[in-house]
Amino acid sequence: NNIGNVGIGAAICTFLAMITIKVYVAPDYLQDVTLFAHALDAFIIGVTIVVVAVPEGLPLAVTISLAYSTKKMLKDNNLIRHLQACETMGNATNICSDKTGTLTENRMTVVKGVFANVMSEDCVNGRLDMSDSAAEIILEGIATCSTARILPAPKDDEDQRPHVVGNKTEAALLQLSRTDFIGSGSASGKAKVDFDVRRAKANFGKEGGSRLFP
């Protein structure tokens, strides 16, 4: 308590001294500084002195202030589970939430995008015309820059759509690459044919064949 009182007293004295210097002494280096700005600097320095003088009380003060903020945000139907999230959620203007299975299915689909400087507004039912070389680059980028996997659905599963394992965004791009959307006829088909040819030439799993799956 004594350390806290001394710290508060020193902070008050520092604040008054700085205001006095600005108002009555008026040195040249403070001529361009407004009284409000100088008072704000004095207040910040005073708070710094209190914080330095009472370090053990700072965590408690921060926790109390965050808990108070959490209580106020709860009145706005904004429940914060972690106190550290008060600053982030306090700055949010719109909060959109959903429980998976009600409005969403935890599956993503590419609906529109820009491919090789060509804008497509319908990636589900449309088809994008581009050169075979551009389509091959896009397909190769989707395949190599992805950690997701698409697995066939079990036969006894009611939902026979492919199962997605991993990042949903990457899986959506992988599913797009399996459709006829990319390519003007044939780039996606050509990529599949080339893949089958490379796999056949590799003799994977056979004696004298490649040990790496192409």
User: Active-site residue numbers?
Assistant: 98
Q: Which of 166, 136, 133 is nearest to 149 (CA)?
A: 166
Residue 116: partners with Cβ closer than 8 Å, 6 or more residues away: 130, 131, 134, 138
Token pair 């306090």 is found at: 90
Alpha-helical (H) ranges within 29-148 are 35-53, 58-74, 86-90, 132-144
Instruction: With beta carbons less than 8 A apart as the criterion, state whether 210 and 203 touch.
Output: yes
Cα torsion at 114, 116, 119, 125 (round to 10°)? -80
Phi, psi (degrees; rounded to nearest 5) at 90: -70, -25
Cβ burial, residue 202 (10 Å; 0-12/13-18/19+): middle
Tell which phi-psi region holds residue 26, choosing left (phi > 0), alpha (psi between -120 and 50) or beta. left
3-state secondary structure of 13: helix
